Every structure is written in structure tokens, then in C-alpha cells.
A and B are shown apart, each in its own frame.
Chain A
Amino acid sequence: MKNLNIFKKPIYQYSLFLPIVCLLLVLIVNLIQTPNFFKITVQNGVLYGFIIDILNRSSGLVILAVGMTLVVASSGGTDISVGAVSALAGAVCIAALGTGATYNVPYIVSILLALIMGMACGTVNGYLVSYMKVQPMVATLILFTAGRGIAQLVTGSFILYVKPEQFGYLGNFIPGVPLPTPFFVAAFLVFITWIVLDKTPLGMYIQSVGINRDASRLVGLNSKLIIFFTYVFCGMCAAITGLISVSRTMSIDANNVGLYTELDAILAVAIGGNSLRGGKFSLFGSVIGAITIQALTTTLYAMQVSADQIPLYKAVVVIIIVSLQSPVVLKWFKTIKGKLSTRSHQMVKEAK
């Protein structure tokens, strides 16, 4: 950046500007199409409305996007195994709890087992990428294909249901709390991650490793370890998403939990204005990206678009959002702006 004078920086030059504009654009469509979209009421003791739905449903994706952002930033590749890892972690959790009227093991133990499973998967991915120098997509492809298979082994290929009501709290509402629990989980995770990245040098390390792995090593950073860490963290995020998902439905369907979410997570990172080549990243950009994706889905439901047309609308909106942020279009905007300003300069001069 040549422009180091941050005080004079116009609002549209902040990295979050475009992602937020995109989200607002999606929401504004609702203002016209479905006026009751922004209405929030209290029903059955909880807040109730489309906006709450968006916050609730996007939480899982937000968590995945946080993990994915770091993976992308550090290694310039994507972790495509997150969906399968979610399913596997969910399967481990429910297999440990059992399907009886009471839990086989304490709830907290099953949560820990699931998180450990997620981190173990992250360890495999991270090891392959950082130490064995396998391309990220190839390395994570292994668990992408095998993860659901292992989950099927864990569940014995059955859809397992959990009976105790408390199991649903994590994915739905805790009695007496008006906001959905996943929202708190996501907000907490984003906050902690942000604090750690912002207040410790870790954020900068990840960025510099992503920009140039060898140069970072030469100045004394342990590049491999940092990349390895981001994959383990991403595995843990995937496990949390899996836990929320199985809690929401109080069951594990290893074929369907987290299906295609890896694509949404990558998309969230991209919509957030992050380069998929790694390096500089914006955590909040990805969070907004994830919320935008869910806002789009909920919007299409509210607008009563028929099921077979939804993918088309989504594709069109995504193309618009992504191209809005592409360097070519940004450059184009700049040229127009430059022409306008020189013209106004000239006009001022002439007036003088």
C-alpha cells in the first residue's frame, strides 16, 4: 500500500468494504421483496425471524470459514476435507454417547473425543501438507474421500438417534436463552481467534508464511509448524461444526452431515475478499462471506423460489459478488475514478 496515511483513507478502501456491501445488497433485495424479512418477534420464549435464522444457520459455516481462512492464508491451498471431518466428528460424538435413554459417557467426554478426532484429522492433513509437501488439495482429498467411510464404520452405516433432550441444546436453543446457541459458539470462536491473531504475532506469522514460505523460514519463522498448526485448527473447527450439526438434528447421518460444506467454506473465504493464493487475509471478511451465503439461501426460501431454480439464482449472485471484487473490475473502477478526478481537477483549474 502506498497510501500509508490511514486517516485519509476513504471508506471504500477498507478491505471489509466490498464484502459488507455485498451482504447489504442481498439483504436489501428482501426489503423490497419480503417486507416481513426483518421482523423479529418473540415466540415460544425465543427470538423469531428470518434474520435470526440467518445467524443461526450461518454459524456452522462461519466456524468452518474461520478455519479455512487460516489454512488458505498460510498454505495458499484449501482444506477440502472439512465436510467429511464434520461428519466423522459427529459420528464419534454420538457413537460414544450411545442411543439409549441416558448417555454412555458424560457429554463433555464425547465432545472432547469429537474435537480430538477433528484435530487428529487436521494433524494428518497438516503433516502431509507442511512436512511432506503434498499439495493441499491432494493431501486433504484423502480424508475427503475416506472421512465419510470411516464415519460409516463408526456408526455401522446406520442413522443413529440420540434421545436425551439436552443433547439438542448445542444446535438449537438453551431453555431461557432467546438466541440460538450456535450463534454464541460462532461468536466466541471468532472472538478468541481474532484476539489471538491480533494481539499475538501469530497473525503476522501466518501472513508472512503465506506470502513467502522460504523467506519467512530465513528470517527465523518455523514455516512448517505454522502451516501444520493452521490445518490442526481447521480440523478442530470442522469438528465443532459437526457437533452443532448432529446436535441440531439429534442424530448422525454420516452420508449427509456437512455434505458440500467444504465448497461453501471456500466460497465464504473468497466472498470475504481473501485471495485463495494465500498471504494477507481478513478473518471478518470470511465471517461476512459465510453470513452472505446463508443470507442468500434464506432469501431465496423467503422469496419462494422453486427448488429446481435455486442453484441458478445462487450461481448468478455468486458470479456478481466475486467479479465485483476481482482485480480487473477494481482496476476498472479506479480508472473511472481517476478520469473523473482529473477532469474535476481540470475544471477547478479552468475556473481559477
Chain B
Amino acid sequence: MNRFKKIISLMLILALGIVLGACGSGSGDTSSKGSSGGGDGLIYVGFVQVGAESDWRMANTKSMQDTFTEENGFKFEMVDAQQKTDKQITAIRDFIQKDVDYIVLAPNTEAGWDTVLGEAKEAGIPVIIVDRMIQTNDDSLFTAWVGSNFKQEGYDAVDALAKALENKGISPTEGEIKIVTLQGTMGSSAQIGRTDGFEEKMKEYPNWKMLDRQSGDFTQEKGQEVMESFLKSYPDIDVVIAENDNMAFGAINAIKTAGKTCGPEGDITIVSFDAVKAAFESMIAGDMDVSVECNPLHGPRVKGLIEKLEAGEDVDKIAYVEEEVFYAKDAADIIESREY
């Protein structure tokens, strides 16, 4: 019996070791995607990515990998920091050691970059920030920032809603339009930008009424829970604004469970953000009306900046990626071309 226990305990420890080991090996620190040749006229770009936490992030990574190829004249090296800021800092120092030509950083957190970016500046390596912004008092620490304009997305959503209502044969300027909003994680830049943008632009339509706003934490389950509550508090909701697609999916579930209808053919209009692939599927299924894109394809924009810098030109400090609005009626034609 005792021996049996010993064997079992040994096996458990081994199993745990394997599991933890597997996690460790997944971290794959630096993976060279480009050629190893140094002095062959290639521009050496080091990219510090946050991780692989979402479909959006994966598309972001792929966009970079597809843009900075050897055929395009780049040597590309990427670090997946697994959502750890300290790993990102180590990676930047590593890139400084390797004397890369450009460092592209997708920061995990907003604060705490002054020291390491100062080192990059001393080494004379231009840093381009993508996606999230960093907090610093010294703007000279980075050369440019490429990302989404969340406030603009909020503005776009207002126009998108007006058009989606028109598509349904409802005039956006007449009668009271009752709206509820599922907000993202409070305080995140996407939530702040989208809420403020929508609120501001909504004033153009005095007949639109915001009944309530509540946070669904960007998740489907929480979005569903909040929507269930909204449906009981307000029996006649006309529009749901969901600050990301996942919360919209949750809201759609809640609406259907309550026996109501949504989408282009239904009573409740669903406006969403991000436009991930699943959102297109939802639009094709006739559940969602419109989704405002949050474009992860930063690669080409960063490449444009680097080319300008190589030519010795000045670049804009802040460069927004172009973002589109997708309506349910076009979803079936577009879905094939979507990468994420």
C-alpha cells in the first residue's frame, strides 16, 4: 500500500512537471522569422508583441509577419511576451543589444516604459508604438504611434446606427429611439473612447434616448446577464450598442430567450464594435445589424512609416489605421476576405 502511494505521488509530481514544462516551452522567447544574414541591405525590425490572447491579437501578429517579409526588404524578429510587461522590457533590451534598425512595440500596459525606451533612444533606435498608447512625459521616447481611434469608432457607430435604421425602413430622426449600451471593462481605452464618441455624436439626434448604460466587461456571459436585466427594466428597447462583438453575442442570446427578435429583420437593432469573423457570421445569420471595425492590420501602416523614416522624411506622431463599418446586408460578400 505504502509503495503504491509512493508510485502514485511520483506520477502526480511528474504529471505536474510535464504540464508546467509544457507551459514554459510555449513561451518561445525569440523566434527569428527573417534570415540571419546581417549586412544584406535588409531593414532589421524587432517586434515586441503582447501575446496571443485573442483573435484580434493573432490577426495583428499575422499582419506584421506578412508585411515584414524578406521579399519586402525586411529582416523580422518577433517576441511573444505572453501578456507580461517585464518580458517585453527584456525583449527591448535584447533588441538594443542586437542593434536592430527599428523596434516596434505593442505595449502590454500603459505605464512604466520611460527607462527602457530611454535606453533605446540612447542607442539611436527609433521606436514605433502600436495598438495601446504608453504614458510618458517625454514624447521624444517614441517616434510614432499607430492604432485605433476609439472615439472615431464611437462617432462611426452613430452614423452606422442611423443607416442601419434606414435600412430597416425606420427614420432615424423621427419618433423616440430608445437605446441601451453594454460598456466594456470600465476605464479601458476602448470603453472610454467608444462611450464618449457615441455620446457626443448622439446629440445630433435629439430624438435618441439613452435609457441605460452598464458594463459587460467585454465578455459574452456578462453581456448576456446585463442584457437580461435591461430587458426586464425596459420593455421596449429599440437599439442595443455593444462595445465589442462578444457582448453583442450575449445580448442576442438574451433577446432571443426573452422571445424578442433582433437583427435587420427583427425589432431590436444591434450595433457592435470590432467586427471579428464571428460577428460576420452573426450578421449573416440575421442577428446583428452592424459592426464597426477595430482594425488589427497595423503591418502596412508601420511599414509605410518605416519607409518614410528611411527616406529621411518626417512622420506624423499619431497615425490612425483606417477602419470601416460593416452592415449585415454586405456581410456574406465580405466574410471570405476577412482574416480574423
Interface residues, chain A, with chain B CB atoms under 8 Å away: 34, 36, 43-46, 48-50, 53, 57, 123-124, 127, 131-132, 142, 146, 149-150, 153, 157-159, 161, 168, 172-173, 245, 248-251, 253, 255-257, 259, 297-298, 301-302, 304, 306-308, 310
* Cross-interface CB contact of B257 among A49, A131, A173, A249, cutoff 8 Å: A173
9-residue interface stretch from B12-20, B102-110, B317-325: B12-20
* Any A CB within 8 A of the CB of B215: yes
Bits for B170-185, please: 1 = Cβ < 8 Å to A, else 0: 0000000000000100
9-residue interface stretch from B52-60, B90-98, B306-314: B52-60
Task: For the A-B complex with A146-B20, A157-B52 known, give 19 more contacts whose Cβ atoms are closer than 8 Å.
Answer: A34-B233, A36-B232, A44-B258, A50-B229, A124-B16, A131-B9, A142-B16, A150-B22, A251-B249, A253-B246, A257-B221, A297-B225, A301-B214, A301-B229, A301-B233, A304-B212, A306-B213, A307-B186, A308-B187
> 16 A-B contacts, Cβ less than 8 Å apart?
A53-B228, A53-B232, A131-B9, A153-B23, A159-B54, A159-B246, A159-B278, A168-B253, A172-B257, A249-B249, A250-B253, A256-B220, A301-B225, A304-B212, A306-B214, A307-B215
> Nearest A residue to B250 by beta-carbon distance?
A249
Q: Chain B contacts of A250 at CB under 8 A?
A: 253
B12 touches A123 (CB 8 A): yes
B221 touches A256 (CB 8 A): yes
Which 9 A-B residue pairs are closest in the complex by CB-CB distance? A44-B259, A307-B215, A301-B229, A249-B220, A256-B219, A157-B52, A149-B23, A308-B186, A43-B259
B220 touches A298 (CB 8 A): no
* Any A CB within 8 A of the CB of B26: yes
* Any A CB within 8 A of the CB of B224: yes
Q: Chain A contacts of B9 at CB under 8 A?
A: 127, 131-132
| B9, B220, B221 interface centre (most CB from chain A within 10 Å) | B221
Q: Chain A contacts of B225 at CB under 8 A?
A: 53, 57, 297, 301
A301 touches B249 (CB 8 A): no
* A257–B12 CA distance with the chains assembled, in angstroms: 26
B58 touches A249 (CB 8 A): no
Q: Chain B contacts of A48 at CB under 8 A?
A: 232, 258
Q: How far is the CB of A304 from chain B (nearest CB, A)?
A: 6
* A50–B234 CA distance with the chains assembled, in angstroms: 12
> Nearest B residue to A303 by beta-carbon distance?
B233
Q: Chain A contacts of B220 at CB under 8 A?
A: 249, 251, 253, 256
B215 touches A153 (CB 8 A): no
> Nearest B residue to A255 by beta-carbon distance?
B53
* A153–B20 CA distance with the chains assembled, in angstroms: 12
A157 touches B58 (CB 8 A): yes
Bits for B130-172, please: 1 = Cβ < 8 Å to A, else 0: 0000000000000000000000000000000000000000000
* Cross-interface CB contact of B253 among A172, A257, A306, cutoff 8 Å: A172
Q: How far is the CB of A132 from chain B (nearest CB, A)?
A: 8
* Any A CB within 8 A of the CB of B241: no
* Any A CB within 8 A of the CB of B226: yes
> Nearest B residue to A309 by beta-carbon distance?
B186
Q: How far is the CB of A53 from chain B (nearest CB, A)?
A: 5
Q: Chain A contacts of B249 at CB under 8 A?
A: 249, 251
B20 touches A159 (CB 8 A): no
* A142–B19 CA distance with the chains assembled, in angstroms: 11
* Cross-interface CB contact of A124 among B5, B12, B183, B186, cutoff 8 Å: B12
* A301–B53 CA distance with the chains assembled, in angstroms: 29
Q: How far is the CB of B278 from chain A (nearest CB, A)?
A: 6
* A299–B74 CA distance with the chains assembled, in angstroms: 57
Q: Chain A contacts of B55 at CB under 8 A?
A: 158-159
* A298–B222 CA distance with the chains assembled, in angstroms: 12
B219 touches A150 (CB 8 A): no
